[in-house]
Structure 1
Amino acid sequence: MRKQIAAANWKMNLTLQQANALMDELLVTPHQLKDNQEAVFGVPFPYLINIKNKLAGKKNVFVAAQNCYDKNAGAFTGEVSAEMLKSIDVDYVILGHSERREYFNESHAMLAQKVNLCFTNGLKPIFCCGEPLAIREAATQNAFVENQLKESLFHLSAQQLTGFVIAYEPIWAIGTGKTASNEQAQQMHAHIRSVIAKQYGSAVAESISILYGGSVKANNAKEIFAQPDVDGGLVGGASLVAADFAAIINSLK
Structure 2
Amino acid sequence: MRKTIVAGNWKMNGTSKSIKTLLESLTAGVPAVDGLVTLVCPPAVYLAQVKQQLGDAPIALGAQNVSSQPMGAYTGECSLAMLQDLGCEYVILGHSERRSLFAESNSDVAEKVAATLAAGLIPILCVGETLEQRDAGETLTLVAAQIDAVLQRVGVKDFASVVIAYEPVWAIGTGLTATPEQAQEVHAAIRAQLAERDADIADQLSILYGGSMNAGNAAELLAQQDIDGGLIGGASLKADEFLTICAAATESRK
Q: Taking structure 2 as the reference length, what is the TM-score of the superposition?
A: 0.94
CA-to-partner distance for each residue in 1:23-44, whole Å, 9 max, x for gaps?
0122223x42321001010111
Q: Say whether residues 1:47 and 2:46 are aligned partners.
A: yes
- The match for 1:38 is 37
In structure 2, what is the Cα distance between the partners aligned to 1:27 and 1:203? Answer: 34
The structural deviation recorded for 1:76 is: 0.8
- The match for 1:227 is 224
Deviates more, 1:18-27 or 1:97-106: 18-27
In structure 2, what is the Cα distance between the partners aligned to 1:194 and 1:139? Answer: 18
The structural deviation recorded for 1:191 is: 0.5
In structure 2, what is the Cα distance between the partners aligned to 1:139 and 1:178? Answer: 18
Cα 1:110–1:190 shift into 2, 3 Å: same
- The match for 2:81 is 83
- The match for 1:101 is 99
Give the conservation status (yes or no) of the 8 Å contact 1:22–1:240.
yes
Counterpart amino acid of residue 119 in structure 2 = N
The structural deviation recorded for 1:156 is: 1.9
The runs of 5 or more residues in structure 1 that have no matched partner are none
- Give 1:212's match in structure 2, choosing from 203, 209, 213: 209
- The match for 2:236 is 239
Give the conservation status (yes or no) of the 8 Å contact 2:177–2:213.
no
- The match for 1:7 is 7
Give the conservation status (yes or no) of the 8 Å contact 2:177–2:211.
no
Give the conservation status (yes or no) of the 8 Å contact 2:114–2:153.
no
In structure 2, what is the Cα distance between the partners aligned to 1:27 and 1:176? Answer: 29
Counterpart amino acid of residue 86 in structure 1 = Q
Give the conservation status (yes or no) of the 8 Å contact 1:39–1:62.
yes
Give the conservation status (yes or no) of the 8 Å contact 1:164–1:207.
no
Counterpart amino acid of residue 134 in structure 1 = E
Q: Matched residues, percent identical?
A: 44
In structure 2, what is the Cα distance between the partners aligned to 1:56 and 1:99? Answer: 30
- The match for 1:197 is 195
Cα 1:139–1:109 shift into 2, 3 Å: same
- The match for 1:135 is 133
In structure 2, what is the Cα distance between the partners aligned to 1:76 and 1:24? Answer: 35
Counterpart amino acid of residue 247 in structure 1 = T
CA-to-partner distance for each residue in 1:217-239, whole Å, 9 max, x for gaps?
11110111000000000000110
CA RMSD between the two structures? 1.4
Cα 1:178–1:8 shift into 2, 3 Å: closer
In structure 2, what is the Cα distance between the partners aligned to 1:159 and 1:83? Answer: 24
- The match for 2:28 is 28
Aligned partner of residue 76 in structure 2, secondary structure: coil
The structural deviation recorded for 1:81 is: 1.0
- Give 1:173's match in structure 2, choosing from 171, 174, 178: 171
The runs of 5 or more residues in structure 2 that have no matched partner are none
**Aligned residue pair count:** 250
- The match for 1:57 is 56
Aligned partner of residue 60 in structure 2, secondary structure: strand
In structure 1, what is the Cα distance between the partners aligned to 2:226 and 2:138? Answer: 21
In structure 1, what is the Cα distance between the partners aligned to 2:87 and 2:25? Answer: 23
CA-to-partner distance for each residue in 1:155-206, whole Å, 9 max, x for gaps?
32343211420000011334667541110000000001011111x2210101
